[in-house]
Amino acid sequence: MNPRNYWIGVVSKDHVDTGVSGGFTQVNHGKAGPLERMRAGDGFVFYSPRTKYPDGDPLQAFTAIGRIRNGMVYQATAGESFRPFRLDVDYFPAQPAPVKPLIAELSFIRNKTHWGAAFRFGVVRVPEADFALIAAAMGRSLGDDFGSRQESSDPST
């Protein structure tokens, strides 16, 4: 079995709410490329720099967490001319977690002074330890929600 990956999607909170209520993720203004790297069982968390896109109040928090359902990217209709790509996600109940108290411990944030740069590309693959830290701050347990990193097909192990 392939190892599980962990992802952060950078999306305003109002768009996160739409995705959570619909059971999907959509990132980078509906582009397919970032979603095509995600697989069933991968961990996914939203980071919301603002409450609304593009000019909402600053939020700077992790706002939703879940697991990629089946890894099948599909195109949706979200208006007359907007056909974004999406990926289904099973979201867990969780509390928002401000990023600032976590910055010192998150390894994917290399520059602790200019920490926002780590989120500039809209989708970030992060180490399991960082994802576990974020999950715990949101009131979730990596072990409970995702099980072991690689399940064995041999029942004796």
Q: Compute φ and ψ for 122, nearest 5 degrees.
A: 90, -25
Mean pLDDT in residue range 106-122: 97
Sign of CA dihedral 127, 128, 129, 131: positive
18-36 average pLDDT score: 96
* Structure confidence at residue 148 (pLDDT): 57
36/5 Cα distance (integer angstroms):
13
The proportion of the chain whose per-residue pLDDT surpasses 90, expressed as a percent, equals: 87
Closest to 68 measured CA to CA, from 38, 92, 32: 38
Look at residue 92 in the predicted model and tell me its pLDDT.
98
Q: How confident is the model at residue 151 (pLDDT cuts 50, 70, 90)?
A: very low
pLDDT of 147: 78
pLDDT-derived band at 150 (thresholds 50, 70, 90) equals very low
